[in-house]
Amino acid sequence: MKKKYVLVPVVLIAAGAATYRLVNQPPSSDLPANEQMYQLLADAGCMDCHVAEPKLPFYASFPLAGDLVKEDARLGYRAFDIAPMMEAIKAGTPVSEVDLAKVEKVIQDGTMPMAKYYLVHWGSSILDSEKIIAMNWIRDQRAANYPNLLAAAEFANEPVRPIADSIPVDVRKVILGEMLYNDTRLSVDNTVSCATCHGLNTGGVDNKQFSEGIQGLKGGVNAPTVFNAHYNFVQFWDGRAKTLADQAGGPPLNPVEMGHKSFDDICARLAEDAAFTKAFKEVYPDGWTQANITDAIQEFERTLITPNSRFDKYLKGDKAALTQEEITGYELFKQYNCATCHVGENLGGQSYELMGLQGDYFADRNTEITLEDHGRNKETKTERDIHRFKVPGLRNIALTAPYFHDGTKKTLEEAVHDMAKYEVGVELTDQETAQLVSFLKTLTGEYKGKILTNDNMK
């Protein structure tokens, strides 16, 4: 860019800035906490770059300067949509745990608003006193909406949380659900059950790039684990199932998974089993229906949580549960933004995020783009959702290779390296990768009182 072209817009921007707030003031402490936070974010210009249709400043119509502004707003909205958070603050409803972690991180690090923005919009940088207001507000939101009662006091405000030892379930439904989960009659040729692809002795996955269903037919996306799926806000990489019960209705009718034509066929086949039907009717008086079958499976899946990982013990206050290397790994996990997407009890499963935020993962992969690569866009058809996926939870991650929706990464080292490169924009040193991997290995928890293992890895 030649200098004289830059000078003109710079002068114009400086002039324009004079019409903006000249004095940097924190929101009045007389305001209710939510209003203070709203005003703080609005004054810092967050909504100028992080909503679908930002109100652009008057100089956005100028050449060069205008293009730069529009590019910041485009990239900002691509990285983070702040509208749901602003609406929630206004309505007094809970802000998502992911948005809390993201905003906490950028304010804590002082990376937002971008320096070039507050140099022009005088008064929009975040003051130390505002930082304190924001951090306190985030802490209070977490305490109110995502109570972390199991954690030691010093870890009560962490972006990730230990999981419960158990959750209340209807045991009679669980027993039926477990039987159905292992029942090959849910597949058209009696060869495949849920457990075929989600073995509980193999980390809840099949350790294949793509699963094999009936007659060895292959799908086009890697099978996520069923362990802790209960904690996901939606199910599937593209989020097309709202609940575990919705999800369980999918595979039996999927032509490459279990291949049935309809749930009526499944019900008819199960009805031939007099003993099972009798037991089922004791809990579900109207007998075999899709709703009842998937309800039972969902109830069973609610028991597939894996508490008491070494990491959870650490969060609960057992300092000796982790080695120094693993603790350093956890520190890096927070430092490098991992914990802004992999948040909460399942270290993920609460938002859709772009695969390739900081680099073109798909171009570098150098294989044809498949339908599954479109991710959330398959469902919404909106452009912003192309390559956006439900963030996978990271519990028991050491047992669930290969990684990513495309199953292309055979080792955790490769997955961690790629995450840092494509989601965070950093090249990790070998030592940092090793530390992060050591930390991730501490996320293996217990099922039925025993630490989970994977028979495929023995």
Give the residue numbers annotated as catalytic, written as ranges: 257
How many C-beta atoms lie closer than 10 Å to residue 419's C-beta?
23
Q: Among residues 50 and 161, whose Cβ is nearest to ligand HEC?
A: 50
Residue 211 interacting with ligand HEC (CB under 6 A): yes
Q: Among residues 115 and 318, whose Cβ is nearest to ligand HEC?
A: 115
Among 245, 305, 397, 398, binds ligand HEC (CB under 6 A): 397
Residues 364-383 that bind ligand HEC (CB under 6 A): none
Among 57, 199, 219, 307, binds ligand HEC (CB under 6 A): 219
Per-residue contact flags (x/-) with ligand HEC for residues 25 to 64, judged by CB under 6 A: ----------------x--xxx-xxx--------------
Q: Among residues 150 and 234, whose Cβ is nearest to ligand HEC?
A: 234
Angle at 335 between CA 334 and CA 337, to 5 degrees: 65
Per-residue contact flags (x/-) with ligand HEC for residues 170 to 189, judged by CB under 6 A: -----------x----x---
Residues 91-150 that bind ligand HEC (CB under 6 A): 102-103, 106, 111-114, 117
Q: Among residues 38 and 236, whose Cβ is nearest to ligand HEC?
A: 236
Retrieve residue 107's tokens.
Answer: 């304010």
CB-based burial of residue 92 (10 Å sphere; 0-12 exposed, 13-18 middle, 19+ buried)?
A: exposed
Q: Closest approach of Cβ 149 to ligand HEC, in Å?
A: 25
Q: Among residues 162 and 329, whose Cβ is nearest to ligand HEC?
A: 329
How many C-beta atoms lie closer than 10 Å to residue 229's C-beta?
22
CA pair distance 87, 205, nearest whole angstrom: 38
* Ramachandran sector of residue 305 (left: φ over 0; alpha: ψ -120 to 50; beta: rest): beta
Among 133, 163, 343, 391, binds ligand HEC (CB under 6 A): 391
CA pair distance 161, 330, nearest whole angstrom: 13
CA pair distance 307, 446, nearest whole angstrom: 5
Asked if the bond preceding 168 is cis, omega within 30° of 0, the reply is no
CA pair distance 338, 285, nearest whole angstrom: 47
Among 196, 292, 308, 350, binds ligand HEC (CB under 6 A): 196
Burial state string for 264-286 with b = 16 or more CB within 10 A and e = fewer than 16: eebbebbeeeeebeeebeebbee
CA pair distance 221, 205, nearest whole angstrom: 12
Q: Closest approach of Cβ 305 to ligand HEC, in Å?
A: 13
Among 95, 223, 343, 452, binds ligand HEC (CB under 6 A): 223
Among 13, 174, 200, 221, binds ligand HEC (CB under 6 A): 221
Find how far residue 446's CA is from the centre of its chain: 22
Among 227, 280, 311, 404, binds ligand HEC (CB under 6 A): 404
CA pair distance 121, 59, nearest whole angstrom: 12
CA pair distance 389, 348, nearest whole angstrom: 11
CA pair distance 397, 348, nearest whole angstrom: 12
Residues 300-339 that bind ligand HEC (CB under 6 A): 333, 336-338
Half-sphere exposure of 130 (CA within 13 A, CB side): 24
| Token pair 């305001």: residue | 31
Q: Among residues 79 and 283, whose Cβ is nearest to ligand HEC?
A: 79
Q: Closest approach of Cβ 264 to ligand HEC, in Å?
A: 16
Q: Closest approach of Cβ 18 to ligand HEC, in Å?
A: 18
Residues 406-435 that bind ligand HEC (CB under 6 A): 415-416, 419-420, 423-424
Residues 231-270 that bind ligand HEC (CB under 6 A): 232, 235-237, 244, 247-248, 251-252, 257-258
Q: Among residues 152 and 256, whose Cβ is nearest to ligand HEC?
A: 256
Q: Which listed range, 160-168, 222-230, 282-290, 306-314, lies at the site for ligand HEC (CB under 6 A)?
A: 222-230
